[in-house]
Structure 1
């Protein structure tokens, strides 16, 4: 049995076919065009799904359904993307309804960080954990809360939106309207924006990290501030939810050891509970595939609950 997993992000959309054991069989990535209407983008996603099904040669009777992971705020129960800051034109988008107009499969929607948390529990770094948090640091920042052996989603599916926790108002206004949000300081988008300002030339997140690794004196203290802000976010999660492990994924996590060592050190110094100071911080196993596998996991999980 297979499911279609769709991971919608602020810069790209990944579409894949995943089997019931969590193995990704094929995947296509398309850019998220923020200038186009949500309906136009979703039509392109639907066409991509149709092409992927055709190219896979998997019999239709073996395709069980579709899972969609998308940034919040959203309403998972209503199948609606509400108003994500990184998708500014996506206001009250009934994405599940639009998919059901074209497919007879069951279709389920979930917050993207929640979906990735399910993936890491299913076949990733948290297989043995019953109390963990998945933190994604990419275009935006979010967290999936897997607590007491189950995903904690909140009333509408938006629990864990730690990216809009205020860290330091002096950093200025976030896209959400508050000042100094974690996402405004430490997301991939923020790193590229601030790094470009510091160096006086347009830089990508990857280029900013390259300068950091080269020891650029203007960039090193900035990235240390970023790591410190992520540490603050992790300590807050530990103090609130007492997890045994934090799994960090998303593009920013690709910087590797410097990030994990800095965050682990911050936790050791500042988590309130002495046992909380020992909370493990580990990289996501599934890396760029967590979103798609997680979206498929959403389908398999919700299908199993019905």
Structure 2
């Protein structure tokens, strides 16, 4: 459209309080004559999003504007053995707290996003058997929380959400093929191809956790033996340290590993090597340009990442690794939380477009009738 038309439309939206100018300047890579342009964004308090991350060690609940700027959040401990109803009650309570203490009009909340540590079926939006949250399988979590809050709720796997956030807001911006590896109480993988999450035909893509590396290995909660998650999760590493570090907390184990303490550093490095071998194979399959590593195990720092890189070099063909950048995620332990907000916004907009298409008169022009 003509620049004058765009300027007129933007001026109207500013006057109506829907958008606002922001303080950053447009990059100067593509210079044009005339007055420098300004960046505009949706006004901070025009609409809101709620994100709920049922993490592997904590529960995070946040409310943001449509630009994903956090307005307020709550972070508390969470036990993955908690039953679905109790967990949803706690999450709903925190959401109500955030709404009340920030004076937010519930009618301006577009949607709620949920992240869970387990595969989510694309067709139903429900947890698939094999999740860490075993007691939640079969429960329609989005519907139950939607009833409690009176808001639309959408749910996805936490690794997919972490990958989404890193690709749009974090270290993966501009990447062509990115792998986001989540190493925590569980193991997760999010695959981003040309800016889109790859979920497979039924939402089961990225199940790195259940790649079997030892058929005689420890029993996994999915029912198989020797799954990656059963061997390199934070809990599995803790158990392997019991002979020398009985009852050590996960955070303390990772701190000692980062400092080079022999026992903790060895089990973390072994875990990194095992993850690296799996990632090396994935490089042969997907030929990524970027691998971001997130989750609690990254607190061990170079002890983990160096082991991952060394194992990848031994298992992937050289050309597949030639241009791969491997580093920690830029969003840290908030990646999955930001992912819930992005996911909620995407699904809310998709639902709005679907309603508009349904309500459009049959003889309406498809362009003029769209909104």
TM-score (norm 2): 0.76
SS at match of 1:145: strand
Name which of 278, 284, 290 aligns with 1:233: 278
SS at match of 1:83: coil
Counterpart of 1:39 in structure 2 is 85
| Distance across 2 between alignment mates of 1:259 and 1:273 | 21
CA displacement at 1:34 relative to structure 2: 5.0
Structure 1 residues 36, 148: closer, same or farther in 2, change over 3 A?
closer
Name which of 68, 71, 93 aligns with 2:117: 71
Counterpart of 2:341 in structure 1 is 296
Name which of 192, 200, 204 aligns with 1:154: 200
Name which of 44, 48, 63 aligns with 1:17: 63
Counterpart of 1:257 in structure 2 is 302
SS at match of 2:148: coil
Matched, 1:202 2:247: yes
CA displacement at 1:61 relative to structure 2: 3.7
Structure 1 residues 281, 70: closer, same or farther in 2, change over 3 A?
same
Q: Mark the runs of 5 or more structure 2 residues left unpaired by the alignment.
A: 1-46, 352-371
Structure of higher RCO (CA pairs closer than 8 Å, 6+ residues apart): 1
Check conservation: 2:177, 2:193, Cα contact below 8 A.
Answer: yes
CA displacement at 1:157 relative to structure 2: 2.4
Structure whose CA Rg is larger: 2
Counterpart of 2:17 in structure 1 is none
TM-score (norm 1): 0.91
Check conservation: 1:6, 1:291, Cα contact below 8 A.
Answer: no
Of residues 119-128 and 165-174 in structure 1, the stretch that sits farther from structure 2 once superposed is 165-174
| Distance across 1 between alignment mates of 2:142 and 2:182 | 24
- After superposition, the CA RMSD in angstroms is 2.1
Of residues 296-305 and 204-213 in structure 1, the stretch that sits farther from structure 2 once superposed is 204-213
Check conservation: 1:84, 1:90, Cα contact below 8 A.
Answer: no
Structure 1 residues 76, 26: closer, same or farther in 2, change over 3 A?
farther
Check conservation: 1:6, 1:292, Cα contact below 8 A.
Answer: yes
Structure 1 residues 19, 268: closer, same or farther in 2, change over 3 A?
farther
